[in-house]
């Protein structure tokens, strides 16, 4: 096979497999916008109409026009699939008819509002899941999405808009989707808002002061453009891997950092980090392990390990790659990750070094076409010079190496003297190639070159006339001597390189096999103790160290497993372990924290936090982990952390299963009690009403009615608590006038509120809020009942509402003794009651119902002591629930 064929880039099997799976499904196209009103639906319908005119079978599965005439006009040429009607708590709502679209099987379906939440009772809770089913059926889909609905960006958007978007789609939907950004400058979008093309005028003016401010829109616009660029770059790389096309294709920046053993590598890492941050690009730090790496001293190895560790902490992907030369290794990495930027240091090498080895920077600049190479000067001359001295001294081997070479040359000479009568002088030079090749194979290149020189001198001294001198009389013998020297040097060089390359390959294969076996061992472990023992055993075997694994037990960090089993920790070691546990940082020997400790501790960090601490140590007092094994240790620590995370999640799942079973039994019990008491309670109510006013006990009828009403509310709370715990709340959000809602709750409690003065301070001009009317009514009923119960016999009750810049606050305040200090949050727990004063007599369910229902509606509730006396309970309704300011204003259906 030719060199060209051997070096030809092959298609990636994973990329080909992704392409094959993609070909079996429909194609998804997302019209991505920064905010409502930029024209996503308009753009989708316009493009769909163009395809329809070209003969493509296009249907409208669901499109929300929001009453916009220009959008409704675009629907005329399309076939619109009728929506499915759903009866929901006495109301008829509509959703996309998924089965009808699948039965119609069009070539392309237009589905608006990708992040929409379906009505309860639909096949899938989210519309994006409906679209996945359409794609699996081979139907192409066009859909629309705002950038704030992307799951990974949800927190970022909330940080500057102060609005939490509840409808999101996972980032994975972008993997195989085509992205089309529908962009509109903030000024133009604000003009559209003022003209009433997004919201009605009075809602538009309110939105301009909140979500639709110019800074917010600019930030959202930048996020949409960057997210689209990221998706395009990933898809491009997948396509290139599948087609094996060469080149970097620098549509998106990808940075490769070359880490060497030279001083100043840490500064190089920080430079690459700053460049990656400025370009917002992924970056990778790689050390190329060449045959010359075998001669590195401990200082150089430690320097490489420290630089790679620093890069990992700064967010880089790190790797150590064996290669024949640094340039060849970097070329391979550049092609593999299709890097567009390379950061490399220019060390202070001597002219002799560059003459022998060449300049890596010069060779890389000449060969790296289409790649920007950033060359960073290395350290000061003094430090570099001392390092060059060490470089010149390393790699020559030990004195006993040359003693062995001398013995081999002497033995070969003796053999040649004995064999000379039979083979003659002309064949003796070939015998001297044997010790040269053996020396190069056993001891490396430089001892092999010394052996070749010694062999040539011995051949000259003992066998070339005049013998017993280094003088060569025959010109032909001079040529023989030169050829012998050259062949010996070449053989030595080749054998030395092959030896080093084989050693690197064997070590790499051994480490890969060990890591694979380690992963399988951890996968088989089913408990924490077994996992800890497996980790300690493998770490000790692979790194030739003592190991210990510690985890929290009863509030303290204790040893779970150790290798050997009798390994002990001193108080100083324990302090270092506690530091690694609490701070999540490296501590102990060889670190910046408690370096005098005997053990070095590595935290097992996961997305759940630090789950355990791994300690390593050596008996000889050296660094616990050799510098050239630091990457291996990092990999082992990462796998051990993942194993502990898996066990932790399994324990949580078992706990959740037990909790679910317990809650199911409790719910069944409470539901049975609630329903079984309704029948006798209804009978008691009927009997009380049957008592005439002429009856001798008629004066007690109001009290009896009040007690029955209180008992009925208790049963309602009991049933509602069961439904809340079971997750069976059915929400029907609709615009609600808070003034009417409060008035309705006061009216339903008129018997209970009799004798209490109601100070009604809810302005009639408060905007409408979007909530479930029935749940909001329950919330207000329980807050008013709580105020009556704990506010004194005839104490006044204040109901006040006011509008702030980003919320509506509704407060119910009594004139009772107030809350115990520190119980403001605990008062909302199930069956929690006040401990002092008149705060007694309740079931302990009312405020728990309030807390559960407000969380379901997205409303915040808090309790406090009012400065004028009494307890105050405040509902905070965010701007996303105020009609006219919700960020998902393009949604025709309110999310449940």
Query: Is 785 a domain residue?
Result: yes
Percent of the chain with pLDDT over 70: 71
**434 CB neighbour count, 10 Å cutoff:** 15
Q: What is the pLDDT of residue 837?
A: 40
Number of domains in the chain: 5
Contact status, residue 518 vs residue 636, Cβ threshold 8 Å: yes
Of 286 and 166, the structure prediction assigns the larger pLDDT to 286
What residues contact 564, with CB distance under 8 A and at least 6 apart?
546
Q: What is the pLDDT of residue 464?
A: 74
pLDDT band at residue 305 under the 50/70/90 scheme: confident
pLDDT band at residue 641 under the 50/70/90 scheme: confident
HSE toward the beta carbon, residue 471, CA cutoff 13 A: 4
Query: Is 464 a domain residue?
Result: yes
CA angle 171/172/173 to nearest 5° reads 90
> Is 476 in the same domain as 606?
no
Query: Is 381 a domain residue?
Result: yes
Contact status, residue 746 vs residue 784, Cβ threshold 8 Å: yes
Contact status, residue 26 vs residue 134, Cβ threshold 8 Å: yes
Q: What is the pLDDT of residue 688?
A: 66
> Is 367 in the same domain as 432?
no
Query: Is 617 a domain residue?
Result: yes
Distance CA 733, CA 893 (A): 9
Whether 48 has a pLDDT exceeding 50, the answer reads yes
Which among 515-519, 646-650, 656-660, 874-878 has the top mean pLDDT? 874-878
User: First and final CA of the chain: distance in angstroms?
Assistant: 65
What single DSSP character describes residue 82? P
Q: Calculate helix-pair angle for 381-393, 298-313, nearest 10 degrees.
A: 130
What residues contact 602, with CB distance under 8 A and at least 6 apart?
580, 586, 613, 614, 615, 616, 633, 637
Q: Report which of 532, 593, 595 is spatially closest to residue 567, judged by C-alpha positions.
A: 532
Distance CA 217, CA 225 (A): 12
Q: What is the pLDDT of residue 734?
A: 86
Distance CA 312, CA 486 (A): 46
What domain range is 164 assigned to? 13-243
Residue that terminates a domain, selected from 366, 393, 420: 393
pLDDT band at residue 10 under the 50/70/90 scheme: low
Distance CA 877, CA 768 (A): 11
Distance CA 353, CA 365 (A): 19
Distance CA 234, CA 244 (A): 15
Distance CA 208, CA 197 (A): 13
> Is 412 in the same domain as 439?
yes
Of 275 and 479, the structure prediction assigns the larger pLDDT to 275
Beta bridge partners of 863: 873
pLDDT band at residue 718 under the 50/70/90 scheme: low
Whether omega for the bond prior to residue 564 falls within 30 degrees of 0, making it cis, is: yes
What residues contact 762, with CB distance under 8 A and at least 6 apart?
738, 739, 742, 799, 800, 801, 810
**746 CB neighbour count, 10 Å cutoff:** 18
Which CATH number covers residue 123?
A: 3.40.50.300
Which CATH number covers residue 860?
A: 3.30.565.10
Distance CA 604, CA 647 (A): 13
- Mean pLDDT estimate for the chain: 76
Label residue 768 exposed, middle or buried (CB < 10 Å: 0-12, 13-18, 19+).
middle
> Is 93 in the same domain as 237?
yes
Contact status, residue 504 vs residue 322, Cβ threshold 8 Å: yes
Q: How far is CA 519 from CA 525, 534, 625, in A?
A: 10, 10, 21
Distance CA 663, CA 669 (A): 10
Distance CA 376, CA 331 (A): 19
Query: What pLDDT digit, counting tens, does each position of 391-442 carry?
Result: 444 556 677 888 888 898 888 888 888 888 787 776 777 787 788 777 766 7
Whether 841 has a pLDDT exceeding 80, the answer reads no
Contact status, residue 87 vs residue 78, Cβ threshold 8 Å: no
Whether 614 has a pLDDT exceeding 90, the answer reads yes
Diameter over CA atoms, the chain: 152
> Is 432 in the same domain as 360?
no
Q: What is the pLDDT of residue 426?
A: 67
Which among 2-6, 326-330, 433-437, 530-534 has the top mean pLDDT? 530-534
Percent of the chain with pLDDT over 90: 7
Q: What is the pTM for the complete model shown?
A: 0.47
Q: What is the pLDDT of residue 141?
A: 92
Which pair of structure tokens corresponds to residue 389? 């001295």
Distance CA 643, CA 532 (A): 9
Of 500 and 781, the structure prediction assigns the larger pLDDT to 781
Of 715 and 78, the structure prediction assigns the larger pLDDT to 78
Beta bridge partners of 449: none
Distance CA 786, CA 783 (A): 5
Whether 264 has a pLDDT exceeding 90, the answer reads no
CA angle 302/308/310 to nearest 5° reads 100
Q: What is the pLDDT of residue 282?
A: 80
Give the 3-state secondary structure of residue 61. strand
Q: How far is CA 684 from CA 680, 695, 716, 718, in A?
A: 6, 16, 16, 19
CA angle 756/757/758 to nearest 5° reads 110
Query: Is 248 a domain residue?
Result: no
The residue-averaged pLDDT of 313-340 equals: 79
Residue that terminates a domain, selected from 373, 393, 413: 393
Among 4-8, 77-81, 360-364, 681-685, whose mean pLDDT is lowest? 4-8
Query: Is 4 a domain residue?
Result: no
Q: Per residue in 290-317, is it b (16+ CB within 10 Å) or e — as a string?
A: bbbbbbbbeebbbbbbbbbbbbbebebe
Torsion of CA 882, 883, 885, 888, to 10 degrees: 110
Distance CA 71, CA 890 (A): 12
Residue that terminates a domain, selected from 357, 373, 393: 393
> Is 108 in the same domain as 196?
yes
Distance CA 144, CA 61 (A): 13
> Is 487 in the same domain as 536?
no
Distance CA 183, CA 254 (A): 26
Query: Is 892 a domain residue?
Result: no
Among 278-292, 541-555, 598-612, whose mean pLDDT is lowest? 278-292
What single DSSP character describes residue 769? E
Whether 550 has a pLDDT exceeding 90, the answer reads yes
> Is 763 in the same domain as 808?
yes
Q: What is the pLDDT of residue 201?
A: 45
Query: Is 895 a domain residue?
Result: no
> Is 28 in the same domain as 164?
yes
Going through 96-221 in order, the beta strands assigned E by DSSP cover 108-111, 140-146, 177-182
Distance CA 601, CA 337 (A): 33
Among 135-139, 460-464, 581-585, whose mean pLDDT is lowest? 460-464
Contact status, residue 94 vs residue 86, Cβ threshold 8 Å: yes
Query: What pLDDT digit, counting tens, does each position of 83-133 carry?
Result: 888 776 667 778 888 889 999 999 999 999 888 888 877 788 888 889 988
pLDDT band at residue 310 under the 50/70/90 scheme: confident
> Is 131 in the same domain as 208?
yes
> Is 416 in the same domain as 367?
no
Query: What pLDDT digit, counting tens, does each position of 341-356 carry?
Result: 889 888 766 555 565 5
Contact status, residue 128 vs residue 109, Cβ threshold 8 Å: no
Query: What pLDDT digit, counting tens, does each position of 629-638 carry?
Result: 777 788 888 8
Which CATH number covers residue 612?
A: 3.30.450.40
> Is 179 in the same domain as 293?
no
The residue-averaged pLDDT of 772-781 equals: 86
Which CATH number covers residue 356?
A: 3.40.50.620
What residues contact 115, with CB distance under 8 A and at least 6 apart?
126, 127, 128, 145, 146, 149, 167, 168, 169, 888
Helices (H), 177-250: 186-194, 201-208, 214-243
Query: φ and ψ at 36, to 5 degrees?
Result: -60, 145
Query: φ and ψ at 448, to 5 degrees?
Result: -65, -40
Q: What is the pLDDT of residue 866?
A: 86
pLDDT band at residue 696 under the 50/70/90 scheme: low
What residues contact 738, with CB distance under 8 A and at least 6 apart?
762, 766, 769, 801, 808, 810
């Amino acid at each position: 096979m030719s060199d060209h064929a051997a070096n030809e880039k092959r298609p990636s099997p994973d990329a080909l497999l992704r392409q094959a799976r993609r070909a079996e499904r429909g194609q998804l196209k997302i019209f991505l916008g920064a905010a409502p009103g930029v024209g996503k639906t308009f753009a989708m319908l316009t493009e769909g109409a163009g395809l329809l005119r070209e003969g493509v079978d296009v249907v409208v599965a669901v499109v929300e026009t929001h009453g916009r005439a220009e959008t409704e006009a675009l629907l005329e040429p399309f076939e619109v699939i009728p929506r499915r009607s759903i009866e929901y708590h006495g109301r008829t709502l509509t959703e996309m008819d998924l089965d009808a679209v699948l039965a119609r099987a069009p070539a392309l379906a237009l589905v608006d509002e990708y992040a929409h939440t379906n009505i309860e009772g639909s096949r899938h809770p989210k519309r994006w899941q409906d679209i996945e089913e359409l794609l699996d059926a081979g139907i192409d889909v066009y859909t629309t999405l705002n950038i704030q609905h992307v799951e990974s960006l949800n927190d970022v958007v909330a940080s500057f808009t102060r609005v939490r978007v509840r409808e999101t789609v996972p980032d994975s939907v972008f993997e195989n989707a085509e992205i089309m950004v529908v962009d509109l400058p903030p000024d133009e979008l604000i003009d559209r808002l003022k003209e009433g093309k997004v919201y009605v005028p009075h809602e538009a003016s309110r939105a301009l002061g909140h979500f639709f401010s110019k800074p917010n829109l600019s930030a959202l616009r930048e996020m949409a453009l960057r997210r689209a660029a990221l998706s395009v770059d990933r898809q491009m790389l997948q396509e290139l891997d599948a087609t094996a096309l060469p080149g970097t294709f620098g549509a998106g920046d990808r940075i490769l950092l070359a880490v060497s053993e030279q001083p100043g590598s840490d500064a190089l890492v920080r430079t690459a980090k700053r460049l990656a941050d400025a370009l917002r690009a992924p970056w990778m730090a790689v050390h190329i392990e060449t045959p010359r790496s075998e001669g590195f001293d401990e200082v150089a190895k430690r320097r490489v390990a420290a630089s790679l560790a620093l890069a990992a902490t700064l967010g880089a992907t790190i790797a150590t790659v064996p290669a024949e030369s640094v340039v060849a290794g970097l070329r391979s990495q550049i092609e593999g990750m299709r890097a567009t930027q390379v950061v490399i240091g220019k060390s202070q090498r001597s002219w002799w070094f560059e003459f022998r080895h060449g300049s890596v920077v010069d060779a890389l600049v000449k060969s790296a076409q289409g790649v920007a190479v950033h060359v960073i000067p290395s350290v000061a001359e003094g430090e570099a010079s001392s390092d060059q001295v060490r470089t010149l001294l390393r790699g020559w081997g030990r004195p006993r190496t040359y003693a062995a070479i001398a013995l081999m040359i002497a033995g070969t000479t003796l053999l040649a003297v004995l064999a000379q009568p039979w083979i003659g002088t002309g064949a003796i030079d070939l015998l001297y190639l044997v010790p040269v090749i053996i020396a190069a194979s056993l001891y490396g290149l430089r001892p092999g070159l010394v052996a070749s020189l010694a062999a040539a001198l011995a051949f000259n001294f003992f066998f070339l006339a005049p013998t017993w001198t280094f003088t060569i009389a025959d010109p032909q013998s001079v040529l023989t001597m030169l050829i012998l020297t050259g062949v010996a040097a070449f053989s030595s060089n080749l054998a030395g390189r092959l030896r080093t390359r084989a050693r690197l390959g064997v070590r790499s294969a051994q480490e890969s096999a060990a890591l694979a076996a380690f992963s399988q061992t951890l996968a088989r472990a089913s408990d924490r103790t077994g996992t800890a023992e497996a980790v300690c055993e493998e770490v000790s075997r692979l790194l030739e160290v003592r190991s210990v694994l510690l985890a929290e037990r009863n509030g303290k960090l204790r040893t779970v497993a150790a290798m050997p089993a009798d390994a002990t920790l001193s108080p100083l070691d324990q302090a270092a372990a506690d530091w690694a546990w609490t701070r999540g940082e490296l501590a102990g020997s060889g670190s910046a924290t408690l370096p005098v400790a005997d053990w070095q501790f590595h935290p097992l960090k996961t997305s759940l936090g630090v789950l355990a601490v791994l300690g390593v140590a050596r008996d000889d007092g050296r660094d616990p982990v050799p510098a050239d094994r630091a990457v291996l240790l990092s990999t082992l620590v990462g796998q051990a952390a993942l194993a502990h995370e898996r066990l932790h999640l399994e324990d949580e799942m078992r706990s959740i299963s037990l909790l679910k079973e317990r809650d199911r039994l409790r719910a069944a019990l409470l539901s049975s009690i609630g329903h079984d008491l309704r029948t006798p309670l209804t009978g008691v109510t009927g009997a009380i009403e049957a008592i005439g006013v002429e009856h001798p006990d008629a004066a007690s009828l109001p009290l009896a009615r009040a007690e029955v009403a209180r008992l009925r509310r208790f049963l309602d709370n009991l049933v509602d608590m069961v439904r809340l715990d079971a997750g069976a709340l059915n929400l029907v959000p609709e615009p609600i006038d808070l003034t009417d809602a409060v008035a309705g709750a006061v009216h339903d409690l008129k018997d209970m509120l009799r004798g209490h003065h109601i100070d009604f301070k809810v302005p009639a001009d408060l905007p409408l809020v979007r909530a479930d009317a029935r749940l909001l009514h329950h919330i207000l009923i329980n807050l008013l009942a709580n105020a009556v119960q704990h506010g004194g016999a005839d104490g006044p009750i204040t109901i006040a509402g006011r509008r702030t810049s980003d919320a509506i606050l509704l407060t119910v305040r009594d004139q009772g003794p107030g809350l115990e200090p520190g119980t403001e949050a605990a008062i909302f727990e199930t069956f929690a009651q006040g401990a002092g004063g008149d705060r007694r007599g309740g079931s302990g369910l009312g405020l728990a119902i309030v807390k559960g229902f407000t969380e379901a509606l997205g409303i915040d509730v808090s309790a406090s002591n009012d400065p004028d006396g009494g307890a105050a309970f405040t509902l905070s309704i965010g701007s996303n629930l105020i009609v006219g300011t919700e960020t998902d204003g393009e949604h025709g259906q309110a999310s449940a």
